Structure 1
Amino acid sequence: MTRNLQVLGFGALAIDDIIYVDRPLSAGKGKVINRTQDHGGNVATALVAVAKLGGRAGFIGWLNDQPLADVSARELERHGVDISFAPRRPDARPIRSVITVGPEGDRFIAYDDDVPHGTSEALADSTLAQAQVLLIDSYAVNADMVVARARKLGLAVVADIEWAIGPATERLVSLSNHLVLPLKFAQIYSCDTDPRLILRKLWSDDRTAVVLTDGERGSYIMQTGDDVLWHVPAYKVKAVDTTGAGDCFHGAYAFALTQGKQPVACAVYATAAAAISVTGPGGRRALPDQSACLAWMAKDNAPVPRPIAPPD
């Protein structure tokens, strides 16, 4: 069938109340210098990043059955994300988050996620088969059968997992052929600290790539058909707000996959996108377009992948 969309995703939708303070979060107390509200959520922001980069993205998670009342859905549409295939239910609503951002861009997120998660098990195969990539987050444990069907249909499943709830998360990890995980979570999940050992531990015969993201220290990659472990350094930038940087990375990585790039090249592209995203406030306001990413990648001082020594 014709692939009308390139990247589909389901996961958290959020409305973020963001507070900027004048002292590091570790100070314990500081003055509020600005307040704003933005829309967020791991997969939702990643899909907005795909659309901003020029890709065709679709959200297929739960939305409210009263479209005019669903401000998060309208915000996705405003950014060019297709929501026409999303299932509806009356109790669907976004997570509410309060994000405190320090002067160096570091942040603390407090959230209330007592909302419906996942997507409908009745989602049609024809809907999934439109796309090349499925983006999921930790909440996909509520719809792992949909993830399994996506894999059988040939979609690449890119997983952004930040917390685990036992066997359900283990199944989600096993279903995802592109694990793109924060290093801090991967360290807890694998019971190891060395990125090289973690890459090996998270590998399986069904895996295409394992990517460990570590903020300003870059990312670590293992990809299929390659005996080399790779490190992609981060760009040196003055961070205004790191909210949504990981989501941007996931969206750019997924979009690069649709362009036929190998995982290390996807990580290089995503590194540029994420670096640009932290140069402005909020999780979506500084998301880059394709031309901005390519311009950053063409700089003389742009980071290049480096092989890293295997573990002893």
Structure 2
Amino acid sequence: MTGNLQVLGFGALAIDDIIYVDSPLGAGKGKVTNRTKDHGGNVATALVAVAKLGGRAGFIGWLSDQPLTDVGAHELERHGVDISFAPRRSDAKPIRSVITVAPDGDRFIAYDDDVPHGTSDALADSVLAQAQVLLIDGYAMHADMIVARARKLGLAVVADIEWTVGPATERLIRLSNHLVLPLKFAQTYTGEAKATAILRKLWSDDRSAVVLTEGDRGAYIRQKDDVVLWHVPAYKVRAVDTTGAGDCFHGAYAFALTQGKQPVACAVYATAAAAISVTGRGGRMALPDHNACVAWMAKENAPVPIPITSPD
């Protein structure tokens, strides 16, 4: 599959062994009620979400140079993600994760990430320039020059960062003009507790948007050229499995950007997509299509953006 793409991304692939238990995660022990296996990885699942929504997505992270046995790559292709521009190396392999999911959909992820991260510095500008958006996660610190080149080429860089290793992470945060971060990480990173204070602290003149996600409490947004901060409440759903919900949010947000939507509207769309994604098992099994998102957004009880306060 080749051709003009809308959203590119790089990050490690993952194979997830998922165990469902009958007790809360803090109970200490519980009975296994079900097991399943799914494929994951923050950026990889976000790109699958883009493809499911009808976008043209391409994975440009490291893949194995043994394509016949590269299960993760086959899964991306099966879901409609272009892998033709991905660099290859002999030691590329997926992260292996074990995920425990409680009855309320909450989960704990244990993973081994001793795998190649980032992408090749030799990736051509012509590959990057065909897209409108670049999706990255915290491992992009291993290829920050690619991120910098993408910004110079005019791509929107949507960053999904969940932890910091110091200066390398700070450089990524500076390079990304759409920070879409979990609120808990942003609190730790900035030392601020309130979403409004974090939105102000992470802002810069080079930023297009800062989005803070808080699961079933929704998302908080500051967008360029807007004097108002916004809160997008979450949908009220019975969560089966929250695995991959954040990845789905990032993918839907990126896809909405390619449709010319402003960040608050992107967050509204992504909130609907993420809500649908938690109603099924695994990180990819319940990813929605565009029509499903539109239908949810049209419901009478669909959450709408709420002004919080002036950013100044």
TM-score (norm 2): 0.98
3-state DSSP of counterpart to 2:136? strand
Equivalent-residue separation in structure 1 for 2:193 and 2:11 (angstroms): 28
2:202 matches 1:202: yes
C-alpha contact (below 8 Å) 1:10/1:136 kept by paired residues: yes
Do the aligned residues in 1 keep the contact of 2:12 with 2:62 (CA within 8 Å)?
no
Q: CA deviation at 1:90?
A: 0.2
Displacement of 1:72 in angstroms is 0.2
Preserved contact between residue 3 and residue 131 of structure 1 (Cα < 8 Å) = no
Query: Residue in 2 aligned with 1:179?
Result: 179
Structure 1 segments, 4+ long, off by >2 Å, are: 309-312
Distance 1:29 1:311, change over 3 A: farther
Shift of 1:309: 2.8
**How many angstroms apart in 2 are the aligned matches of 1:71 and 1:184?**
33
- The count of aligned residue pairs is 311
Which residue of structure 2 aligns with residue 149 of structure 1?
A: 149
For residues 69 and 147 of structure 1, the distance between their equivalents in structure 2, rounded to whole angstroms, comes to 29
Residue 264 of structure 1 is matched in structure 2 by 264
Aligned pairs for 1:101-180 (under 5 A) are 101-180=101-180
Percent identity at matched positions?
84
**SS of the residue aligned with 1:173?**
helix
Q: Structure 2: how far apart are the matches of 1:148 and 1:311? A: 28
CA distance in structure 2 between the aligned counterparts of 1:275 and 1:235, rounded to whole angstroms: 6
CA offsets, 1:29-60, max 9 Å, x none? 00001111100000000000000000000000
Unaligned runs of 5+ in 1: none
Per-residue deviation, residues 6-37 of structure 1 (Å, max 9, x unmatched): 00000121000000000000101000011111
Residue in structure 2 matched with residue 29 of structure 1 by the alignment: 29
Please list the CA deviations of residues 203-252 of structure 1 after superposition, one character each: whole Å capped at 9, or x if unmatched. Answer: 00100000000000000000000010000000000000000000000000
Q: Contact (CA 8 Å) 1:12, 1:137: kept in 2 or not?
A: no
Partner of 1:241: 241
Deviation, 1:154, is: 0.2
Query: Quick check: 2:227–2:311 contact (8 Å CA) kept in 1?
Result: no
Q: Determine helix, strand or coil for the equivalent of 2:207.
A: coil
Distance across 2 between alignment mates of 1:191 and 1:71: 41
Q: 1:79-90, aligned counterparts within 5 Å?
A: 79-90=79-90
Match of 1:65, as an amino acid?
D
Separation in 2, partners of 1:166, 1:224: 27
Residue identity matched to 2:35: R
CA contact (8 A) 1:19 1:36 kept: yes
Question: TM-score, length-normalised on structure 1?
Answer: 0.98
Match for 1:164: what amino acid? Answer: T
1:3–1:129 Cα contact (<8 Å) kept: no
Q: In 2, distance between residues paired with 1:305 and 1:125?
A: 37
